[in-house]
Amino acid sequence: MDMTQQDSLKGSSLYDTMRRDIVFGRLPAGSKLALNGLRESYGVSISTIRECLNRLVAEGFVKSEGHRGFHVSPVTPEGLQEVAELRILLEAHALKRSMEAGDTQWEARIVAAHHKLHRMEQKMAAGDHAVRETWKQYDWEFHQSLISACGSAELLFLHGTVFDKYLRYQMRVLTFRGETAAMEHRQLLKAALDRDADTAERILRQHIAGGVTHALENWQD
C-alpha cells in the first residue's frame, strides 16, 4: 500500500477533506470556521488549517474578511443560478470540443463511466440512500469523462471548480430526482457516441436547468 506523494502531505489531504465537507454540507453554508475548533476536529496545527483555508478562499468555497476569520461561503438562489449558468457555458463548450476530438479510448471511458453511474442510480432508485455520496462521485466522473477529450487542461480545471460549486447546491436537496436525471444521462451518452452535438447540448442544458428548478422548488434556509 504505497501512498502517492501528495497524500503524505497533511495539507493536501486536509484540503480534499475540507473541500468535500463543504460540498457535501458537513460544514454548513455560512458557518464560522473557528481555527481552534478546526484544529481539534481535523487534528492538525493552525498553520496547516490556514494554508488549506486560503486555497479554499481562492476557489470561492470560503470567505475571509479582515481580521474576522473565515466562513463557509453562503448559498443563495442567485448564486445557484449564476453557478448553473457557468456550468452550462463551460461544460457545453467542452462537450462540443470533446465530441469533435474524442477517439475510441474516449468512447470507452464514457461508456465505462456511465456504467458505474448507472449501477449507483439503480441502488438509489431502490432506496439505498447510503450511496448518495458515491452516486454523486460517479455523476462527476461521468460528466468529467464526457468532456475529457476537449484538449484544454485549463478548461477542465475551471469546470471542476464550477461543477463542485453546483454540486454543493444539489446536495442541499433531500428529495430525489434520479429517474429523470438517469434518463438524461442515457440520452447524453447516446448523443455523445452518435457525435450528435446539437442533441447533446440540448440534453445537457435541460439536465442542468432541471437540477436548478428542482433545487429552487425544494429550497430550505
Partner DNA sequence: ATGCTTGCAAAAATCGATTTTGATCATCTC
Partner DNA sequence: GAGATGATCAAAATCGATTTTTGCAAGCAT
Q: Report the interface residues with DNA, using CB under 7 A.
A: 5, 8-11, 32-36, 44-48, 50-51, 64, 66-70
212 binding a second copy? (CB under 8 A): no
- Minimum Å gap between C-beta 71 and DNA is 9
Selection from DNA, a second copy, none that 17 binds (CB < 5 to 8 A by kind) is none
State yes or no: residue 5 binds a second copy (CB under 8 A). yes
Q: Between 64 and 137, name the residue whose CB sits nearer to DNA.
A: 64
Choose among a second copy, DNA, none what residue 85 binds, the Cβ cut-off being 5 to 8 Å by kind. a second copy
Query: In 3D, which of 172, 185, 204 has the Cα closest to residue 79?
Result: 172
Contacts of 149 (CB under 8 A, 6+ apart): 97, 98, 99, 101, 102, 103, 106
Q: How far apart are CA 52 and CA 6, in angstroms?
A: 14
DSSP character at residue 74: P
Choices 31-39, 76-84, 111-119, 168-176 (CB under 8 A): range interacting with a second copy = 76-84
> Considering beta carbons, is residue 77 or 125 the nearer one to a second copy?
77
Nearer to DNA, 44 or 197 (CB): 44
| Binding-site partner at residue 152 among a second copy, DNA, none, CB < 5 to 8 Å by type | a second copy
Q: Which helix (H) or strand (E) holds 72?
A: strand 70-72
* 208 counts as binding a second copy under rule CB under 8 A: no
Number of residues that bind a second copy (CB under 8 A): 35
Task: Collect all residues with Cβ–Cβ distance below 8 Å to 19 and sequence separation of at least 6.
Answer: 56, 61, 164
Selection from DNA, a second copy, none that 6 binds (CB < 5 to 8 A by kind) is a second copy
Q: Kindly state the cell numbers that stand for 16.
A: 480534499
Residue 2 within binding range of a second copy, rule CB under 8 A: no
**Phi, psi of 32, rounded to the nearest 5 degrees:** -75, 140
Query: Binding string, 81-110, against a second copy, x = CB under 8 A?
Result: -xx-xx--xx--x-----------------
Q: State the CB neighbour count (10 A cutoff) for residue 213.
A: 12
**H and E: helices and strands count for the chain:** 9, 3
Minimum Å distance from CB 5 to DNA?
5
Window 7-36: contact mask with a second copy (x via CB under 8 A):
-xx-x-------------------------
16-52 burial, b for 16+ CB within 10 Å, e for fewer? eebbebbbbeebebeeebeeeebbeebebeeebbebb
